[in-house]
Amino acid sequence: MNRSDGLVRRVKTRDTSLEGLDSNNINQNHEFDDNKRESEEDINDHDSKETRLTLMEEVLLLGLKDKEGYTSFWNDCISSGLRGCILIELGLRGRVELEKAGMRRRGLCSRKLVLKSDSPTGEVLLDEALKHIKETDPPETVQSWIEYLSGETWNPLKLRYQLRNVRERLAKNLVEKGVLTTEKQNFLLFDMTTHPLNDNDIKSRLVKKIQDAVLSKWVNDPQRMEKRMLALIFLAHASDVLENAFAPLNDDDYEVAMKRVRGLLDLDFEAEAGKPNTNEVLWAVFMAFTK
């Protein structure tokens, strides 16, 4: 699959926390501090009283039609994309990691996803996935977990890992946070629960945050980008909802944004995963969607 598929057509419409510590304390606390920063990264970019959304909720919110309250019937990518979000959330929160590359320097796709911490996250979907990963022996690859959690596997023994009704459960979370509301719509042969947008400001801020990341706040180096924002761009693309964030741009800004996103998609993921202070789970999920 070409990594820039779906991005060529326009639809018109740092760390100072360790200062003052001796070397032993730095070694003991460095990993904890990294995990803490990653789990909180980009969550607090606005006022602390602002509604906080998970990566999964942000991708779903981008995909939902504001007035209709449901995702496009033609979008068959968002299901697996949301599962990728779940794995990245677990990686950023320090719950899972990739096994060591070993002497043969195995690639991201062949390395297994292993448990790093089984402490609950407080998010039901994340904790369900974490429980499955913990109970699975031998471990599985990131690609396999995306398939298992989506229910897209030919192995009947793995169907028990499927996370069901993910979109509906995420939508209910957004209703509880006041972002969406709940309605019933009739589609001739059946009634369907929908979740129209209730708080336009939150979605507007989300869209602007993505636009700014590839325009006014562009850093031209994925290693310097906030990990959550980098993940949001990749997973929104994998879920076929990134266009919804860029559609309001004028033609010139749109072309610049698309060019920069294509540059991200064309990165050497193996090389990026090998750089210091990176998160290998992040790049393994990207690889699974673009290989």
Among the residue ranges 35-39, 80-84, 270-274, the one predicted with the least confidence is 35-39
Reported pTM:
0.82
CA distance linking residue 213 with residue 5, whole number of Å:
21
Residue 6 is predicted with a pLDDT of 46
Residue 198 pLDDT more than 60?
yes
Q: Write down the H helix ranges in the chain.
A: 23-40, 55-63, 78-92, 124-135, 142-150, 166-176, 200-214, 227-238, 242-246, 251-265, 269-273, 280-290
Q: 3-state DSSP: the chain helix, strand, coil percent, rounded to 5?
A: 50, 5, 45
Residue 20 is predicted with a pLDDT of 43
Q: Tens digit of pLDDT for each residue in 18-51? A: 344 344 444 444 444 444 444 444 444 443 345 7
Of all residues in the chain, what percent carry a pLDDT higher than 90?
69
Of all residues in the chain, what percent carry a pLDDT higher than 70?
81
Among the residue ranges 102-106, 108-112, 127-131, the one predicted with the least confidence is 102-106
Give all domains of the chain, ordered by start, each with its CATH number: 55-180+196-290 (1.10.3630.10)
Q: Comparing 291 with 137, which gets the higher pLDDT?
A: 137
CA distance linking residue 224 with residue 14, whole number of Å:
10
pLDDT level of residue 103 (50, 70, 90 thresholds)? low
Residue 36 is predicted with a pLDDT of 45
Radius of gyration of the chain (CA): 19
Residue 11 pLDDT more than 70?
no
Among the residue ranges 16-25, 61-70, 218-227, the one predicted with the least confidence is 16-25
3-state secondary structure of 85: helix
Residue 102's region, left for phi above 0, alpha for psi from -120 to 50, else beta, is left
